[in-house]
């Protein structure tokens, strides 16, 4: 995948030697101290950590885990698919991914049970969005709720009695798929992400609801752009088609339609920034900002997070994607994270600030900002490829303090379990 694609948190697994080094740094040990406890010379530890020596045999690995106080063996050895006993180790991915995948790939028979009322579905989705924005570990929250919501949404569409009821059910189903996409994004199953995005778009288009179509287009554009430069044209096409549909009636449109229009303009700007098109990127940001200023100060779009408060966060991302180090830091310093009501979106903003500082050579500040992101929403950091890349890079820093902090953060975000 191109280097301009959003980093896949699973694309660069941590080597065994680097895991040893991370845990050693976390314990505050020198190579000499670790070697002494193991009955080896420090050169043995160096060869292990630099990868010039093959992974030792199981008794030695168990002794390493004991000395380094590693609680789970697979945290130390990582992906050992090329080694024996692979059934003892789990691959990466959220614990609830299998249940969500099963719900998305299983189609209940129409008569299995009566579908819940649309009033119930609306209330259930409202509660799910609220829980998602309030939860520090939003994937755990969504993973618990989604299997039931997905099956209920399917039944609601199948059992709709009239055309109007079916359109309403399709709107709810499209929103359920939007919620699901936040869970499956950055999980180790790209085909599932595309399945969710496509089914969400199909449901939205069949409903003929402008807001639903806008949301599905926003999610589809993100999926295309995150796949790298070869998909930027598709991202632009999706956004262009949606804006052609939404913009003619924008002046009299409901708030949610105005907001999704603004969010789509942001997406166009982010894709332009990925292409290093400075004028176009900031032009789209300005057009989106004009919409945000027309919204009530407290308004917050629950799918896209579009609001007055989030425009500062978008400005940081635009500057970072343009590789403008000084400008990205200026934007990062003036963008207020605490004004964003969603915990995962607030954490994502902190990650973007960390990217800005790292781009500008401020590694200490970047690490401190990632620690703030982790405090706000640990799962957001754990499944973000940019955050993981910075942490992994800093575990090999020549500065002992940075190396120690990065090693601790690597453990905190579960980097070693991947």
Question: What pLDDT score does 83 carry?
Answer: 39
More confident residue, 87 or 140: 140
CATH 1.10.260.40 holds for 16-88: yes
Question: What pLDDT score does 11 carry?
Answer: 64
Residue intervals of the chain classified under CATH 1.10.260.40 are: 16-88
Q: Which of 86, 221, 353, 272 is nearest to 77 (CA)?
A: 86
Average per-residue pLDDT for the chain: 90
* Residue 228, Ramachandran bin (φ over 0: left; ψ between -120 and 50: alpha; else beta): left
More confident residue, 393 or 363: 363
**Looking at the predicted structure, is the pLDDT value of residue 119 above 80?**
yes
In sequence order, what E strands does 18-104 have? none
Backbone angles phi, psi at 84, to 5 degrees: -70, 170
**Looking at the predicted structure, is the pLDDT value of residue 80 above 80?**
no
Chain center to CA of 104 = 19
Q: What is the pLDDT of residues 297-354, one digit of tens each?
A: 999 999 999 999 999 999 999 999 999 989 999 999 998 888 899 999 999 999 999 9
Tokens 């259930």 — which residue? 124
Query: What is d(CA 379, CA 155) in angstroms, rounded to the nearest whole number?
Result: 31
Q: Is the CA virtual torsion 145, 351, 27, 31 positive or negative?
A: positive
Question: What pLDDT score does 88 carry?
Answer: 25
Decide: 345 and 310 in contact? Cβ < 8 Å: yes
Helix axes 311-321, 255-274, angle to 10 degrees: 20
**Looking at the predicted structure, is the pLDDT value of residue 27 above 90?**
no
Question: pLDDT tier at 69 (50, 70, 90 boundaries)?
Answer: confident
More confident residue, 15 or 278: 278
Chain center to CA of 211 = 23
Report percent pLDDT > 70 for the chain: 92
Tell me the average pLDDT across 20-38: 88
Range scoring the smallest mean pLDDT among 52-61, 116-125, 207-216: 52-61
Its pTM stands at: 0.82
Question: pLDDT tier at 86 (50, 70, 90 boundaries)?
Answer: very low
**Looking at the predicted structure, is the pLDDT value of residue 190 above 70?**
yes
**Looking at the predicted structure, is the pLDDT value of residue 2 above 60?**
no
**Looking at the predicted structure, is the pLDDT value of residue 84 above 90?**
no
Question: pLDDT tier at 77 (50, 70, 90 boundaries)?
Answer: confident
Q: What angle do CA 374, 299, 322 make, to 5 degrees?
A: 55
Range scoring the smallest mean pLDDT among 103-117, 159-173, 227-241, 368-382: 103-117
Question: What pLDDT score does 48 carry?
Answer: 92
Question: pLDDT tier at 82 (50, 70, 90 boundaries)?
Answer: very low
Tell me the average pLDDT across 377-389: 91
Q: Which of 80, 74, 71, 62 is nearest to 26 (CA)?
A: 71
In sequence order, what E strands does 143-242 have? none
Question: What pLDDT score does 89 carry?
Answer: 26
Report percent pLDDT > 90 for the chain: 67
**Looking at the predicted structure, is the pLDDT value of residue 292 above 70?**
yes
> Any residues with CB less than 8 A from the CB of 174 and at least 6 apart, and which?
200, 201, 203, 204, 207, 209, 212, 215, 216
Question: What pLDDT score does 314 carry?
Answer: 97
Characterize 294-319 residue by residue with b for buried, 16 or more Cβ atoms within 10 angstroms of its Cβ, and e for exposed.
ebeeebbbbbbbbbbbbbbbbbbbbb
């Amino acid at each position: 995948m191109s280097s301009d694609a959003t980093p896949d948190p699973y694309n660069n697994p941590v080597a065994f030697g680097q895991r040893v080094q991370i845990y050693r740094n976390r314990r505050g040990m020198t190579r000499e101290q670790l070697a002494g406890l193991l009955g080896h010379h420090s050169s043995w530890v160096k060869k292990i950590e630099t990868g010039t020596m093959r992974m030792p045999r199981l008794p030695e690995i168990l002794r390493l885990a004991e000395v380094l106080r590693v609680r789970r063996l697979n945290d130390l050895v990582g992906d050992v698919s090329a080694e024996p006993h692979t059934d003892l180790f789990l691959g990466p991915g959220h614990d609830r991914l299998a249940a969500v995948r099963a719900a998305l790939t299983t189609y209940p028979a129409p008569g299995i049970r009566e579908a819940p009322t649309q009033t119930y579905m609306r209330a259930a989705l409202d509660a799910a969005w609220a829980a998602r924005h309030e939860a520090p570990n939003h994937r755990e929250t969504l993973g618990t709720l989604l299997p039931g919501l997905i099956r209920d949404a399917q039944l609601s569409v199948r059992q709709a009695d009239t055309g109007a009821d079916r359109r309403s059910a399709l709107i709810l189903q499209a929103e359920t798929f939007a919620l699901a996409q936040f869970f499956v994004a950055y999980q180790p199953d790209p085909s599932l992400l595309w399945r969710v995005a496509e089914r969400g778009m199909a449901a939205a288009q069949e409903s003929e609801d402008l807001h639903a179509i806008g949301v599905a287009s926003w999610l589809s554009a993100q999926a295309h752009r995150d796949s790298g430069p070869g998909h930027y044209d598709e991202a632009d096409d999706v956004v262009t088609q949606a804006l052609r549909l939404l913009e003619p009636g924008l002046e009299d449109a409901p708030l949610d339609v105005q907001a999704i229009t603004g969010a789509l303009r942001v997406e166009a700007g982010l894709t332009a920034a990925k292409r290093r098109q400075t004028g176009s990127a900031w032009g789209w940001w300005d057009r989106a900002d004009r919409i945000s200023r027309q919204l009530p100060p407290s308004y917050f779009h629950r799918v896209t997070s579009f609001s007055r408060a989030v425009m500062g966060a978008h400005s940081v991302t635009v500057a970072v994607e343009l590789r403008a180090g000084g400008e990205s830091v200026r934007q990062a310093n003036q963008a207020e994270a605490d004004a964003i009501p969603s915990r995962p979106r607030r954490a994502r903003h902190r990650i973007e600030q960390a990217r800005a500082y790292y781009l500008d050579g401020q590694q200490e500040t970047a690490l401190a900002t990632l620690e703030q992101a982790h405090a706000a929403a640990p799962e957001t950091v754990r499944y973000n490829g940019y955050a993981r890349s910075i942490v992994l890079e800093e575990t090999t820093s020549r500065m002992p303090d940075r190396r120690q902090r990065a090693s601790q953060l690597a453990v905190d975000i579960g980097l070693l379990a991947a």
